[in-house]
C-alpha cells in the first residue's frame, strides 16, 4: 500500500517503475555475464568446457541485455543514447584538428 502511495506521489505508475528498475537490473546483470565471459579463457577447464561456458555466458549476456532494454522502454534508452552522442560531440570539438 505504501509503495502505491509513494509511486503516486512522484507522479509515476507502480507498474512502470517496476518495469524500469527490473530493466536496469537486467542490464547490470548483462555486465556481470560479460565479465564472466571475459574470465572464461583464464580458467583451468578443458577447451570443450570453455567453449560451452563462453557460449552460455554470451547467450545469457545478450538475453538479459535485450530483455532489460525491452522492460526499460524506448524513452529511457533514447535518453541514454542522447547523452552518449553529446559526449562524443563534446569530445570531437575539444580535440584539435
Q: pLDDT of 35-76, one tens digit each?
A: 999 999 999 999 999 999 999 999 999 999 999 988 887 777
Contacts of 72-81 spanning 24+ positions with Cβ under 8 A: 72/19, 72/20, 72/23, 72/24, 72/27, 73/19, 73/20, 73/23, 76/20, 76/23
- Residue 5, in any domain of the structure: no
Please give the residue range of the domain that contains residue 87: 17-91
In terms of pTM, does the model score above 0.85?
Answer: no
**Does residue 1 form part of some domain?**
no
User: How many domains in the chain?
Assistant: 1
CB within 8 Å of 65: residues ≥ 6 apart = 26, 27, 30
Give the number of C-alpha atoms closer than 13 A to the C-alpha of residue 27, restricted to the C-beta side: 15
Q: Is residue 8 part of a domain?
A: no
Q: Is residue 96 part of a domain?
A: no
Amino acid at each position: 500500500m505504501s509503495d502505491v502511495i509513494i509511486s503516486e506521489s512522484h507522479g509515476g505508475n507502480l507498474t512502470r517503475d517496476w518495469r524500469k528498475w527490473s530493466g536496469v537490473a537486467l542490464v547490470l546483470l548483462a555486465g556481470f555475464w560479460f565479465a564472466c565471459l571475459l574470465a572464461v579463457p583464464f580458467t583451468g577447464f578443458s577447451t570443450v568446457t570453455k567453449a560451452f561456458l563462453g557460449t552460455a555466458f554470451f547467450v545469457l549476456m545478450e538475453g538479459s541485455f535485450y530483455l532489460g532494454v525491452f522492460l526499460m522502454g524506448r524513452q529511457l534508452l533514447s535518453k541514454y543514447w542522447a547523452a552518449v552522442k553529446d559526449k562524443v560531440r563534446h569530445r570531437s570539438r575539444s580535440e584539435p584538428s
